[in-house]
Amino acid sequence: RKGCTIENSKPAFQVYSINNLPFDYQVRRSRRVQRARIVVSPEKIEVVVPLLMSERSVHTFVRDHQRWVTRTLDKIEKQHQQIVGLAPDKYTDGVMIPFQGEKWKLTIRPSKLKRVKMEFDGGLFIAHIPKSLINTDYSENIREVLIKWMKKRVKMESEEIVARHADRYGLIPKSIRIRKQKSRWGSCGIHDDININWVLILAAPEVLEYVVVHEICHIRFRDHSANFWSLVAAHLPEYKKPRAWLRKQGASLMLGL
């Protein structure tokens, strides 16, 4: 596709044909910015510009940064392939399942049970398949049960992390909820309920720990001030490593299984 979408104060979008650009982009005008910037994500390319910046200047700015945009798109695609490559297209005997930063083999076992059951034993995922499904395409059944299993696991892991950290400074959440969030790893509500994205269980354990600690620290500080980051560091002196990992791999990890 070629061209761009311009978003301004009007509700409609204007589409421009920029023939020498290999990507589409949209522009968001903001009173808060003084200089133009480009934000590249798997979903879109957004150019954030000052209110009074002319359309010609916007297009020139994007053309001047075309090489950077294409390099960033290539990088995101490689990260996407790396993470997606961990999750199988079909959940059949012998495929490898991502879990806690590693890959683990899936074994299929016929069962007298009426429903698919998942367990993790000795570094092996075992899917117990009802005999009535053995000769059918049960891949989606396994995927659904696997996700439910992982949600329970991330809930248990999150509770253990809170138990290790919360009492130190009285950062005790009212509840811990596990969700699939499209753009957040976690959040802390006004009543000190924290939400954790279940796909974090696919990453290494220190990544989940960082996010949980990040959210309970918001019980004390609702912003990202220096005091907030000092509190995070008091719990996790090496927090910058998992934080940097999420910034680099997070867009692909967010795709889940």
| Structure confidence at residue 81 (pLDDT) | 56
Give the alpha-carbon dihedral of 157, 163, 165, 168, to 10 degrees: 180
Model pTM above 0.85 = no
| Structure confidence at residue 118 (pLDDT) | 96
For the cut 70, the answer to whether the pLDDT of residue 80 exceeds it is: no
| Structure confidence at residue 14 (pLDDT) | 42
Q: List, as own/partner pairs, every contact residues 108-112 make where C-beta atoms lie below 8 angstroms and the sequence separation is at least 24, other chains included.
A: 110/134
Q: Which residue has the higher pLDDT, 6 or 214?
A: 214
For the cut 70, the answer to whether the pLDDT of residue 219 exceeds it is: yes
For the cut 90, the answer to whether the pLDDT of residue 256 exceeds it is: no
Q: Which segment of 25-29, 40-44, 169-173 scores lowest on mean pLDDT?
A: 40-44
Cα 149–Cα 152–Cα 158 angle in degrees, nearest 5: 140
Q: In which band, very low, low, confident or very high, does the pLDDT at 82 lie, cut at 50, 70 and 90?
A: low
Give the alpha-carbon dihedral of 156, 159, 164, 166, to 10 degrees: 170
Round to whole Å and give the CA distance between 11 and 130.
53
For the cut 80, the answer to whether the pLDDT of residue 8 exceeds it is: no
| Structure confidence at residue 186 (pLDDT) | 95
For the cut 60, the answer to whether the pLDDT of residue 4 exceeds it is: no
Round to whole Å and give the CA distance between 201 and 208.
7
For the cut 50, the answer to whether the pLDDT of residue 27 exceeds it is: yes
The mean pLDDT of 30-36, rounded to a whole number, is 91
Q: Cα–Cα distances in Å, from 147 out to 84, 142, 151, 188?
A: 15, 9, 6, 23
pLDDT digits (tens, 9 = 90+) for 91-125: 999 999 999 988 999 999 999 999 999 999 988 99
Q: List, as own/partner pairs, every contact residues 235-242 make where C-beta atoms lie below 8 angstroms and the sequence separation is at least 24, other chains included.
A: 235/165, 235/168, 236/209, 236/210, 238/206, 239/210, 239/213, 239/214, 241/206, 242/204, 242/206, 242/207, 242/209, 242/210, 242/211
For the cut 80, the answer to whether the pLDDT of residue 5 exceeds it is: no
The mean pLDDT of 202-231, rounded to a whole number, is 96
For the cut 90, the answer to whether the pLDDT of residue 18 exceeds it is: no
